[in-house]
Structure 1
Amino acid sequence: MTAQVREAADRNRFTAETERFRRELLAHCYRMVGSAQDAEDLVQETYLRAWRSYAGFEGRASIRSWLYKIATNVCLTAAQPRPIRVLPSGLAGPHDGPDSRPSEAAPGEVSWLEPFPDTWITPSTDDPATTAVARESLRLALIASLQHLPARQRAILILREVLAFSAPETAKILGTTTAAVKSGLQRARARLDELEPQPGELLEPTDKRARALLDGYITAFEHSDASLLEKVLRTDATLEATPFRSWYAGRLNCLNLLATHVLGTPGDWRMIATEANGQPAAAVYHRNDGKLQAHGIVVLTPTATGVTRVTEFHNPALVVLFGFPNVLTN
């Protein structure tokens, strides 16, 4: 067997053994760094490192835990020189000034959290319970809170409570002791309890009530009708949008901002329903020079009593990342 044939056989075996974990590794890296685009790059680096060391992998651990060890350490290395990614609500309290116009952050001033396309990690199983767990672990509020944890605590909490690795397995992945893992998990839980908001029971994006709320939100924008939005938002709803530092609490404040500075005239906006972070979402287009051009992604947090949070990401590149065109033709 020639060296080339042997390498090709090794490559095929490597692909067969590792490729099935790519989607869950994407979700893992996203939980660690809060950026779908960065997660793609980090998973690519994970597979490059795994291939380079594959010849020395002798099955002392499962392929899955071996890949998670590489991916977690890739993420920890990447996190060291970078500021954490946040949402506007992670910077300060809600806007309470006389002018409702939001203040935009200077370029590079803040590193913003990004949404994650559900299509990237849709489980191959038809088990509703498995699907619900996958969605719950990617909720925007949870991802935003995770970013405020020290990177190693973040990794411990994700490995233990999301991925269900044991304390000894987690210690091996992180190159530390079981005692350190248990202590880190305790501190991470306590901090997360302080950070993560409790909006009540959230609706799954496949729930008819959640889809009705998303449809109502889309219709309100496409018709530039604030009164329709009033029917969708809860009285305690919040609204935030990157790259604006200001965010708004209370339905009246949200409606005032949208009606005054955002909605415009009918036909200015077009939205296409999708799912992000296990929540109903939409790709947003805004009319500019007569064309409907990509504007960003909006993610809703739906409950049985209405939408409790609207989070919009004003970044046209995200629309393409979610698999939609940059410009709509009609």
Structure 2
Amino acid sequence: MADTIFETRVEQHRGELLAYCYRMLGSVHEAEDLVQDTMLRAWQARERYDERRASIRTWLYRIATNVCLTALEGKARRPLPSGLGAASTDPETPLVPAFEVPWLEPFPDDPAERAVRRDGLRLALVAAMQSLPARQRAVWVLREVLEFSAAEVASLLDTSVAAVNSALQRARAGLADVAEVAPPDDPAVRRTVEAYVRAFEAADVTALVELLTEDAVLEMPPVPLWFVGRHDYGAFIRRVFAMRGTGWRMVPTIANGQPAVAAYAPGDGVHRLHTLQVFTVVDGLVAHTVVFQSPAVFAAFKLADTL
């Protein structure tokens, strides 16, 4: 196979491989490194690739799976604050970041590859997946999201079909409590997020709280702090306005196939990037907001520093 043709055929799978490695690792930046490693290994082994035995896509997933499983050996899972301890009931709790924790990162949406990437990317789902053993994680993604057959997955993992089916059953049980959510372009979801943005920009906490479910969750990595319920969620938002002022601006985007906004805080005549906020909307109300404040996350989403 000519090198240029091989390179072209391999590169067309980079986007979906990135999403796969992200689902496995929970980090965009680690996923990018692993995809690069996958591509390098594929290039080095190109003379040994036999398209009569497997499609180039299947072959690449075999390499990527091995790369991911190796990377996950001995590595701590990437959590969100709600996965580490009980919710706080004091909105005045000091906001002390825990930079030593390898926090779960959000994944930027790419319209060009949305159909491939969005399925199985919900933030809560990726967070739950981090608690699964690595091979279960791989089996679930390969079977449920990427729709490889049990026989193909067995070949990818050098195991039996029975072992694949058993791992899939256990993975399904571990992810059973993660609810489905409507896509961000669903009209009801869009209306809810737009109303939330209007309330936040107007510093109207009363209106904002009315858009929350009774048990809405607010969490904000790298601060290991989270709140549950309309009252505590609203109380913390009041604290935010007291600390950072009012007159925020919010720019819509998409993360993990969910509605999100880049939030810009006012100050010195400009609005400076403060957080990326990812929403889970259920039945027309915000059920979960994850607020990320990390330069690495901002860079992955290519967010402007100021407005």
Question: Among 155, 159, 162, which residue is 2:145 paired with?
Answer: 162
Q: Bigger CA drift: 207-216 or 240-249?
A: 207-216
Question: Among 211, 233, 257, which residue is 2:212 paired with?
Answer: 233
Contact 2:189 2:284 in 1 (8 A): no
Residues 262 and 181 from structure 1, CA distance in 2 versus in 1: closer, same or farther, beyond 3 angstroms?
farther
Q: Equivalents in 1 of 2:289, 2:57: separation in Å?
A: 36
Q: Equivalents in 2 of 1:247, 1:23: separation in Å?
A: 32
Contact 1:101 1:257 in 2 (8 A): no
Q: Bigger CA drift: 318-327 or 70-79?
A: 318-327
Letter in 2 for 1:159: L
* Residues 1:244 and 2:223 aligned together: yes
Aligned to 1:113: 104
Letter in 1 for 2:173: A
Question: Among 269, 276, 280, which residue is 2:259 paired with?
Answer: 280
Contact 2:192 2:284 in 1 (8 A): no
Deviation at 1:77, TM superposition (A): 1.1
Residues 177 and 145 from structure 1, CA distance in 2 versus in 1: closer, same or farther, beyond 3 angstroms?
same
| 1:288-313: CA deviation from partner (whole Å, max 9, x where unpaired) | 55443222311001122311111111
Name the SS of the counterpart of 2:262 in structure 1.
strand
Q: Equivalents in 2 of 1:298, 1:249: separation in Å?
A: 16
Question: Among 9, 20, 30, which residue is 1:17 paired with?
Answer: 9
| 1:58-107: CA deviation from partner (whole Å, max 9, x where unpaired) | 111111110000111111111114211111111122223x4542553432
Aligned to 1:3: none
Aligned to 2:287: 308
Letter in 1 for 2:7: T
Letter in 2 for 1:306: L
Deviation at 1:197, TM superposition (A): 3.6
Deviation at 1:274, TM superposition (A): 0.5
* Residues 1:95 and 2:78 aligned together: no
Letter in 1 for 2:80: L
Q: Equivalents in 1 of 2:264, 2:296: separation in Å?
A: 12
Deviation at 1:191, TM superposition (A): 2.1
Aligned to 2:234: 255
> TM-score scaled by structure 1?
0.86
Deviation at 1:119, TM superposition (A): 1.3
Letter in 2 for 1:83: A
Contact 2:81 2:225 in 1 (8 A): yes
Deviation at 1:266, TM superposition (A): 2.3
Aligned to 1:127: none
Q: Equivalents in 2 of 1:296, 1:11: separation in Å?
A: 43
Aligned to 1:30: 22
Q: Equivalents in 2 of 1:262, 1:23: separation in Å?
A: 39
Aligned to 2:96: 104
Structure 1: 5+ residue stretches without partners: 1-8, 124-130
Question: Among 288, 292, 295, which residue is 2:271 paired with?
Answer: 292
Q: Equivalents in 2 of 1:281, 1:152: separation in Å?
A: 31
Question: Among 184, 191, 205, which residue is 2:174 paired with?
Answer: 191
Residues 316 and 221 from structure 1, CA distance in 2 versus in 1: closer, same or farther, beyond 3 angstroms?
farther
Deviation at 1:160, TM superposition (A): 1.2
Structure 2: 5+ residue stretches without partners: none
Q: How does 1:219-230 map onto structure 2 within 5 Å?
A: 219-230=198-209
Name the SS of the counterpart of 2:33 in structure 1.
helix
> TM-score scaled by structure 2?
0.92
Aligned to 2:245: 265
* Residues 1:64 and 2:60 aligned together: no
Aligned to 2:67: 74
Aligned to 1:6: none
Q: Equivalents in 2 of 1:120, 1:318: separation in Å?
A: 18
Contact 2:38 2:64 in 1 (8 A): yes
Contact 2:150 2:165 in 1 (8 A): yes
Contact 1:222 1:270 in 2 (8 A): yes
| 1:143-179: CA deviation from partner (whole Å, max 9, x where unpaired) | 0000000111111111111111111111111122222
Aligned to 1:217: 196
Aligned residues: 305
* Residues 1:142 and 2:142 aligned together: no
Q: Equivalents in 1 of 2:19, 2:236: separation in Å?
A: 34
Residues 63 and 10 from structure 1, CA distance in 2 versus in 1: closer, same or farther, beyond 3 angstroms?
same
Q: Equivalents in 1 of 2:295, 2:152: separation in Å?
A: 40
